[in-house]
Structure 1
Amino acid sequence: MTVPADKPKKIAIVVHREHSRPGRVGALLEKRGYELHRLCPNLGCRLPEDMSDYAGVVIFGGPMSANDCGTLAGIKCELEWIPKVVEAGVPFLGLCLGAQLLTRAAGGRVAPHPQGLVEIGYVDIHPTETGRAWFRAPMKVYQWHREGMTLPACCEVLATNDRYPVQAFRHGPNAFGFQFHPEVTLEMKRIWTLSAAERLKMPGAQQRGVHLSMHPLYDPPLDRWINGFLDRWLATDQRGAKPIAANDMSAEEPIEAAFRLAAE
């Protein structure tokens, strides 16, 4: 899918550190013809008030917490901005910290695991009954987090597991949050597992060799899944175009193979 001629051509990419990358998600959006507008509120970037030029917003992860609004002006700014984006009908996608910020903006809570367990490495997730329209089967996904989410009633869980029950969710027709990292490439895994090696000592974390050895096995189906998801996500735009409903099975035909492969 390429950018329709009558649609906005830019995607707002919100990151949290100077050297943060949009990874595979950014590359797939650029391949579709979108211009990435990189924004980092923690470094003083202003977030756009007028969203008419944007086809979507993606907020990525970071080492800080969604609860740091009292100490980080950038986090406070994002929490105040997210409801405006969602209410405007712009497709919104939050990844890891981005999902936790969406949770807090919607009225939910973000907190560490009661036993201090983390998810760092490849982890199984399972679709809920509602989530089967988006995740047809259990998947192995890449994780790097130490906090989880408790959703408000306005959100619906799409994928879950035993350690952190909220792995993917939807807020209204156009906003999604994923606790996992579909954007992370092999190069990014190599960097993260070295630059943040101290995190691999936390309870529940997998060691560096496991991260890298699992990549060729589990990354290809995740790649196919996120590639298919992005088209459906962009089609949830509520600013005039008819959105693709989560239970519209005919809309999923082009990505049937990706879902089947993800289940293997």
Structure 2
Amino acid sequence: MDAHPSDVLVIENEADCPPGLLADVLSRAGLTMHLHRPYRGDQLPADLGTFEGLVVLGGGMGARDDAEHPWLPQTRRLLALAVDRHLPTLGICLGAQLAAIALEGRIGRREQPLVGLTSIALTDDGREDPVLGAIDSGALDGDGGSGPAVLSWNQDTVTGLPPHSTLLAKDEDGGIAAFRTGTSLWAVQFHPEVTAQVVGTWARTSDLTRAGAEPEAMAAEFAGVPQVVAAGTALLEAFAQQVLTD
């Protein structure tokens, strides 16, 4: 299908990591989501053609697991092309790690997974950023004492920023939670797109779920903190606005 000026290419790397809130946000903004599922055999485009935005979602695989997931090299290539084109781009979790590799940054692995509700700390650049700045509210403790509340689910992580990148947020242990490369690529280690249903699925299927965790309880905990969805929605809406105005 040919792309049109309102089209956003979204790459889904596995069925358990769907677009979630992103689908509704793009639709409300008048943007058309072109969802490619290469794990089901969808062929990724050779280039970005006339797409006006790119989103790469998460996944349980590693960002260098090319042998088992042969579409990953092309995904990294598209991320690099997007930066060259100054195309508004969002990498989420695995997508952030793929972007880091594609742009000559570094990734590594935490000693312990970062799973569940957590807070991030926006840098001064993050608070002024047109996308990350949209979530500079909604602290987990409700009194502004901690940063915006987010949902994290990762053990692999970005450990070194690519050249020409700006740190936008840190996680609770000081690691990289979000960065921007150039003026048009945003990468976040947390999940702004997630829903309570997806959290329940991950709690059942993910290798990172802590022993003894109850999927229903984890989904209910997420649903009980509405500022997490509000923050994620605000970030996605701000990204959609970048696509519209680019």
Counterpart in 1 of 2:220?
212
Percent identity over paired residues: 25
Partner of 1:189: 199
Q: 1:187 to 1:14 in 2, by over 3 A?
A: same
CA RMSD of aligned residues (A): 2.4
**Structure 1 pair 210/18, CA: closer, same or farther in 2 (3 Å)?**
closer
Aligned equivalents of 1:52, 1:77: Cα separation in 2: 14
CA distance in 2: counterparts of 1:41 and 1:26, whole angstroms = 18
Q: Please list every run of 5 or more consecutive structure 2 residues that lacks an aligned counterpart in the other structure.
A: 138-146
How far the C-alpha of 1:119 sits from its partner, in A, is 1.0
- For residues 71-90 of structure 1, what are the structure 2 equivalents within 5 Å? 71-90=68-87
Q: Shift in Å at residue 191 of structure 1?
A: 1.8
Alignment check: 8 A CA contact 2:55 2:90 kept: yes
1:152-181 Cα deviation digits (max 9, x unpaired): 232111000243611111011111001010
Find the aligned partners of 1:87 and 1:190 in 2 and give their Cα distance: 38
* Whole-Å separation in 2 of the counterparts to 1:124 and 1:64: 24
CA distance, structure 1, for counterparts of residue 50 and residue 199 of structure 2? 33
Structure 2 CA distance for aligned equivalents of residues 159 and 184 of structure 1? 19
Following the alignment from structure 1 to structure 2, what is the Cα–Cα distance between the partners of residues 20 and 139?
22
* Paired letter, 1:119: L
- Give the aligned residue type for 1:187: Q
* Residue 177 of structure 2 corresponds to residue 167 of structure 1: yes
* Higher relative contact order, structure no. (Cα contacts within 8 Å, ≥ 6 residues apart): 2
1:132 is matched by which residue type in structure 2? Answer: R
What letter matches 1:122 in structure 2?
A: L
SS in 1 for 2:151: strand
1:44 deviates by 3.6
Asked if structure 2 preserves the Cα contact closer than 8 Å seen for 1:122 and 1:214, the reply is: yes
Taking the aligned partners of 1:28 and 1:102, their CA distance within structure 2 comes to 22
Distance 1:206 1:169, change over 3 A: farther
Matched, 1:10 2:7: yes
The Cα offsets for residues 195-233 of structure 1, whole Å up to 9 and x where unpaired, read as 33x42227xx97642452243323343245225422443
1:4 aligned partner: none
C-alpha displacement of 1:141: 0.2
1: CA distance between counterparts of 2:109 and 2:52? 33
Judge conservation of contact 1:121–1:206 (CA < 8 Å) in 2: no
Q: Within 5 Å, which residues of 2 pair with 1:21-36?
A: 21-36=18-33
Q: Which residue of 2 aligns with 1:62?
A: 59
The C-alpha deviation readout for 1:14-67, integer Å capped at 9, x for no partner, is 011246421001111012222211112334433224534322111000010112
Deviating more after overlay: 80-89 vs 173-182: 80-89
Stretches of 4+ aligned residues off by more than 6 angstroms: none
Distance apart, 1:9 and its partner CA: 2.0
Work out whether residues 119 and 148 of structure 2, in 8 Å CA contact, stay in contact via their aligned partners in 1: yes
Q: What secondary structure sits across from 2:224 in the alignment? A: helix
Distance 1:193 1:12 in 2: 28
CA contact (8 A) 1:174 1:236 kept: no
**Structure 2 residue 145 is the aligned partner of structure 1 residue 141:** no
Number of aligned positions between the proteins: 226
**CA–CA distance in 1 between the matches of 2:55 and 2:5?**
15
For residues 226 and 78 of structure 1, what CA distance do their matches in structure 2 show?
22
More helix by share: 1
For 2:35 and 2:218, locate their aligned partners in 1 and report how far apart those are by CA, in whole Å: 32
State TM-score, norm by structure 2.
0.82
Give the letter aligned to residue 168 of structure 2: L
Q: Is the 2:154–2:208 Cα contact (8 Å) retained in structure 1?
A: no
Give TM-score scaled by structure 1 length. Answer: 0.77
Q: Is the 8 Å Cα contact of residues 193 and 236 (structure 2) preserved in structure 1?
A: no
